[in-house]
């Protein structure tokens, strides 16, 4: 492409944005809203994923050891569990420690334990963690088979529910993003269609005097990309600000909440929004030009 | 320059605009296409710059096969042609100079060449002193002269004009015809569809008459032949 052609394309794009300034403004706004919701869901889904992952990974298998197993047996058992596949950590909790914890958890109601006197009904146990949440079931089943193990329990129902919820949020988020992408595409292609329509005489003359399709297409394509990009910038700025405010609030009140830190996460989200905006802008222009250039 | 063999055109609604038409036009000719509205004149003209594709037959324009041409080659066919319409089709927000230069910009001509060529054609059509005007500040005849300047600025081998004097009064029409004559004298082929009996009869050039999609008359120094 020649330099003068590049100049021409940029000049035409700017002129057209200015000439249809209200329409441009409206479409930047709509793109911004769509991309904002898109970004919001992106952030939500990624955070949900992270949260469920972290909750899932916190799911432990409680392995209760039979009372008759002696200290040596306990050590062998620990070694055998540690040697199994997918095990992250194995921690031994003896019955006294377990009682202590139980007492702590009861707090004000420790008197309930008075009835027990000096007897300790709690067994020795192991707290076993696995590398990946989906390994919990198989690991628990395998551990339960070991000699000297009374039972191996984990929060089956909780894990299953978590999986279901995560899946649902991901699915819903993806579906919503898809719908929003289509809506944004529609808005941009309509805006460009209006621009093309406003300039149809010019385009017709360009065709009569022998301009190539690409020469005609470039300014419109660029216009779509600029609209998408500007909308994306607005959406990204608002989202970044909002995330900062909300994150600060969450850290103040729910310190344990596994929110993803701003950097570099927000940069990735911004990049995703801009790329989506520009891509959708380019695609929108291409769609509205396709029919027009055919003739 | 134009070789039309057995060309027919049937539109999607079933209307037959041209029915097995054979025409040969040599380089340097000045040809009038005459006929009533709806006779097929417009289809004939629009086929030459491939705005309409023949349904059947073969058509060579300026050495290029219009029928079997790729869509991407159409711009290069049109660069060898100049097209002029009854309604001028100028860009209202561009000056005379910009309107003419536009035809060179879109084919990516070098800037210096654009300036030189635009001045030259504005001299030919006699609008050098109005180069800064916008179309709305010009008379119909002047606007058509701008359109002619735009059509010839890329030195086309063939100029196609569809009723170029249709909106003009007789005196202005003659000014336009003078320009066409001069362009033709320089060796450019001209094909012009017209309703203007006075012009056709006075020019004494080749006349092709179309009626109901057929060529009914093709005379070397013809007359309009219809009562207006």
Q: Is residue B116 part of a domain?
A: yes
Task: Dig out the tokens for A92 from the structure.
Answer: 């031994």
Structural domains counted in chain A: 2
Cα–Cα distance, A8 to B218 (Å, whole number): 46
> Cα torsion for B125, B130, B133, B138, to the nearest 10°?
-60
> Cα torsion for A133, A138, A139, A144, to the nearest 10°?
140
**A30 half-sphere exposure, CB direction, 13 A CA radius:** 19
> Contact B75/A204, CB-based, under 8 Å?
no
Which of A135, A154, A173 is a domain's end point?
A154
pLDDT range class, residue A140, cuts 50, 70, 90: confident
State whether A145 and A214 are in the same domain.
no
pLDDT at position B190: 96
State whether A192 and A284 are in the same domain.
yes
Nearest CA-CA distance, residue B43 and chain A, Å: 15
State whether A130 and A202 are in the same domain.
no
Task: For residues B47-69, give the mean pLDDT.
Answer: 93
Q: Which of A262-266, A290-294, B31-35, B215-219 has the lowest mean pLDDT?
A: A290-294
State whether A144 and A121 are in the same domain.
yes
Which of A208, A211, A293 should we substitute to test contact with B (largest number of B Cβ atoms within 10 Å)? A208
Question: Does residue A134 or residue A96 have the better pLDDT?
Answer: A96
Q: Is residue B127 part of a domain?
A: yes
pLDDT at position B227: 58
Question: Does residue A82 or residue B136 have the better pLDDT?
Answer: B136
CB A166 within 8 A of CB A52: yes
Peptide bond into A264 cis (omega under 30): yes
> Contact A212/B75, CB-based, under 8 Å?
yes
Task: Dig out the tokens for A276 from the structure.
Answer: 């989506």
CATH number at residue A76: 3.30.70.3040
State whether A284 and A186 are in the same domain.
yes
pLDDT in tens, B102-132: 999 888 888 889 999 999 999 999 999 999 9
State whether A183 and A71 are in the same domain.
no
pLDDT at position B132: 92
State yes or no: pLDDT of A105 exceeds 90: no
Q: A interface toward B at CB cutoff 8 Å? A: 2, 4-5, 8, 201-202, 204-213, 215-216, 294-295
Task: For residues B75-97, give the mean pLDDT.
Answer: 92
The three-point CA angle A55-A56-A60 to 5° equals: 100
State whether A20 and A64 are in the same domain.
no
Chain A residues in contact with B107 by the CB 8 A cut-off are: 209-211
pLDDT at position A1: 63
Nearest to B111 among A4, A202, A213 (CB): A4
Question: Domain of B128?
Answer: 91-155
Which of A198, A200, A210, A213 should we substitute to test contact with B (largest number of B Cβ atoms within 10 Å)? A210
pLDDT at position B131: 92
State whether A51 and A140 are in the same domain.
no
State whether A169 and A47 are in the same domain.
yes
Chain B residues in contact with A216 by the CB 8 A cut-off are: 106
Q: How many A×B Cβ pairs under 8 Å? A: 54
Which of A129, A154, A179 is a domain's end point?
A154
Q: Is residue B121 part of a domain?
A: yes
pLDDT in tens, B126-184: 999 999 999 999 999 999 999 999 999 999 999 999 999 988 999 999 999 999 999 99
Neighbours of A102 (CB within 10 A): 15
Structural domains counted in chain B: 1
pLDDT range class, residue A256, cuts 50, 70, 90: low
Nearest CA-CA distance, residue A3 and chain B, Å: 10
> Contact B77/A204, CB-based, under 8 Å?
no
pLDDT at position A77: 86
pLDDT at position A260: 81
For residue B10, the Cα-to-chain-centroid distance in whole angstroms is 23
Which of A121, A154, A187 is a domain's end point?
A154
State whether A78 and A99 are in the same domain.
yes
Nearest to A208 among B78, B91, B108 (CB): B78
Nearest CA-CA distance, residue A207 and chain B, Å: 7
Question: Does residue B191 or residue A110 have the better pLDDT?
Answer: B191
Question: Domain of A270?
Answer: 3-55+160-294
Nearest CA-CA distance, residue A286 and chain B, Å: 17
State whether A39 and A170 are in the same domain.
yes
pLDDT at position A58: 66
Residue of A nearest to B73 (CA): A212
Mean pLDDT of chain B: 91
State whether A278 and A167 are in the same domain.
yes
pLDDT at position A193: 81
Task: Dig out the tokens for A97 from the structure.
Answer: 């420690």
Q: What helix, strand, coil percent values describe chain A, rounded to 5?
A: 75, 10, 15
Q: Is residue B123 part of a domain?
A: yes
Task: For residues B46-56, give the mean pLDDT.
Answer: 92
Which of B75, B100, B121 should we substitute to test contact with A (largest number of A Cβ atoms within 10 Å)? B75
pLDDT at position B142: 94
Cα–Cα distance, B124 to A209 (Å, whole number): 19
Neighbours of A50 (CB within 10 A): 14
pLDDT at position B153: 94
pLDDT in tens, A197-251: 877 888 888 888 888 888 888 888 898 899 899 999 999 999 999 998 988 888 7
Nearest to A209 among B51, B106, B111 (CB): B106
Quote the ipTM score.
Answer: 0.84
Task: Dig out the tokens for A125 from the structure.
Answer: 């146990």
Which of A16, A209, A214, A219 should we substitute to test contact with B (largest number of B Cβ atoms within 10 Å)? A209
Q: Is residue B182 part of a domain?
A: no
Nearest to B108 among A2, A207, A216 (CB): A2
Q: Is residue B138 part of a domain?
A: yes
State yes or no: pLDDT of A49 exceeds 80: no
State yes or no: pLDDT of A184 exceeds 70: yes
Chain B residues in contact with A8 by the CB 8 A cut-off are: 105
> Contact A209/B78, CB-based, under 8 Å?
yes
Find, among B56, B79, B86, the residue nearest to B164 by Cα. B86
Q: Is residue B150 part of a domain?
A: yes
State yes or no: pLDDT of A152 exceeds 80: yes
């Amino acid at each position: 492409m020649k330099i003068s052609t590049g100049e021409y394309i940029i000049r035409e794009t700017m002129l057209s944005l200015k000439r249809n300034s209200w329409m441009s403004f409206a479409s930047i706004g709509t793109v911004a809203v769509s991309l904002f919701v898109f970004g919001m869901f992106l952030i939500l889904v990624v955070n949900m994923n992270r949260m469920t992952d972290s909750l899932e990974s916190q799911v432990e298998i409680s392995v209760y050891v039979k009372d008759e197993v002696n200290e040596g047996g306990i050590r062998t058992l620990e070694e055998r569990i540690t040697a199994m596949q997918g095990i992250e950590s194995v921690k031994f909790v003896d019955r006294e420690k377990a009682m202590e914890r139980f007492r702590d958890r009861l707090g004000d109601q420790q008197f309930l334990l008075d009835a027990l006197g000096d007897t300790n009904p709690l067994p020795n146990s192991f707290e076993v963690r696995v590398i990946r949440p989906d390994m919990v079931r198989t690991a628990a089943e395998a551990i339960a088979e070991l000699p000297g193990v009374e039972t191996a329990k984990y929060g089956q129902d909780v894990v299953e529910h978590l999986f279901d919820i995560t899946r649902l949020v991901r699915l819903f988020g993806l579906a919503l993003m898809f719908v929003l992408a289509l809506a944004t595409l529609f808005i941009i292609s309509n805006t460009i269609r209006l621009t093309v329509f406003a300039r149809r005489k010019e385009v017709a003359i360009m065709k009569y005097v022998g301009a190539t399709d690409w020469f005609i297409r470039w300014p419109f394509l660029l216009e779509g990309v600029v609209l998408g990009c500007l909308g994306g910038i607005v959406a990204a700025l608002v989202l970044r600000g909002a995330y900062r405010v909300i994150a600060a609030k969450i850290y103040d009140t729910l310190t344990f909440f596994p929110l993803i830190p701003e950097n570099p996460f927000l940069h990735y989200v911004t990049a995703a929004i801009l790329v989506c905006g520009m891509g959708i802008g380019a695609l929108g222009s291409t769609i509205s030009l396709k029919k027009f250039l055919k003739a | 320059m134009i070789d039309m063999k057995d060309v027919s055109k049937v539109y999607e609604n079933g209307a037959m605009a041209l029915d097995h038409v054979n025409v040969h036009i040599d380089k340097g000719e000045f040809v009038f296409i005459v006929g009533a509205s709806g006779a097929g004149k417009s289809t004939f003209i629009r086929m030459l710059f491939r705005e309409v594709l023949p349904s059947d037959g073969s058509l060579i324009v300026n050495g290029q096969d219009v029928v079997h041409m790729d869509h991407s080659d159409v711009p290069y066919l049109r660069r060898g042609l100049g097209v002029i319409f009854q309604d001028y089709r100028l860009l209202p927000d561009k000056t005379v100079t910009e309107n003419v230069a536009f035809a060179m910009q879109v084919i990516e001509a070098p800037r210096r060449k654009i300036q030189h060529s635009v001045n030259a054609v504005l001299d030919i059509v006699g609008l050098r002193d109005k180069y800064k005007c916008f179309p709305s500040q010009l008379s119909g005849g002047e606007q058509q002269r701008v359109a002619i300047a735009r059509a010839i600025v890329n030195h086309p081998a063939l100029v196609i004009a569809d009723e170029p004097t249709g909106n003009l009064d007789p005196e202005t029409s003659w000014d336009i015809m003078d320009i066409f004559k001069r362009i033709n004298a320089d060796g450019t082929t001209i094909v012009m569809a017209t309703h203007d009996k006075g012009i056709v009869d006075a020019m004494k050039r080749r006349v092709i008459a179309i009626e109901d999609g057929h060529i009914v008359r093709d005379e070397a120094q013809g007359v309009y032949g219809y009562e207006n």
